[in-house]
């Protein structure tokens, strides 16, 4: 089970060549129901060697509570050199230039079609400024990958 993050928007996002391990994007082969009305739907994942994308787990973070206090745990794919949250915020900012709605969605589909409905997802409003490391956007209290839809506001 891997985290999958999708972006829906009304204007194309120009693809740029990302280094291996950075957050890349590609046209989504499948996307959650909340993105069905968007003409442009993207899957975001770890840039692979051959140009293909891996899972979105580099955006997964959670807190482990230890005797020494809380410890932020990031997926092994996370890299501060290529901060995936900065890249995600850049993609969202580019999509918002059209002046129309932008939505992020996440689930554990691995990019594979799921038999689900829009009601299976929690719906939240999110400012683009909140897309930062340690924001825990894609964390769940029981260490699973949540099913969420984020309506992005300026």
64 CB-near residues (< 8 Å, 6+ apart): 70, 71, 73
What are the helix (H) ranges across 38-121?
Answer: 84-96
Give per-residue pLDDT as tens, 44-56.
999 988 878 999 9
Cα(12)–Cα(152) distance, integer angstroms = 16
Which of 90-99, 115-124, 132-141 is predicted least confidently? 132-141
Interior/surface letters 55-73, b for 16+ CB within 10 angstroms, e for the rest: bbbbbbbbeeeeeeeeeee
- For β-strands 23-27 and 40-46, DSSP reports them as antiparallel
């Amino acid at each position: 089970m891997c985290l999958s993050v999708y972006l829906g928007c009304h204007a194309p996002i120009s693809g740029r060549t990302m280094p291996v391990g950075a957050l890349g994007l590609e046209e989504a082969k499948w996307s959650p129901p909340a993105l069905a009305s968007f003409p442009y739907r993207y899957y975001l994942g770890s840039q692979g060697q051959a140009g293909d994308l891996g899972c979105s787990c580099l955006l997964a973070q959670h807190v482990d509570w230890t005797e020494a206090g809380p410890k932020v745990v990031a997926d092994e794919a996370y890299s501060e050199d290529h901060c995936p949250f900065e890249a995600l915020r850049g993609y969202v900012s580019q999509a918002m230039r059209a002046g129309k709605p932008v939505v992020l969605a996440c689930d554990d589909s691995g990019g594979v079609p799921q038999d689900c409905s829009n009601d299976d997802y929690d719906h939240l409003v999110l400012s683009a400024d909140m897309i930062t490391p340690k924001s825990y956007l894609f964390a769940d209290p029981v260490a699973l990958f949540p099913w969420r839809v984020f309506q992005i506001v300026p």
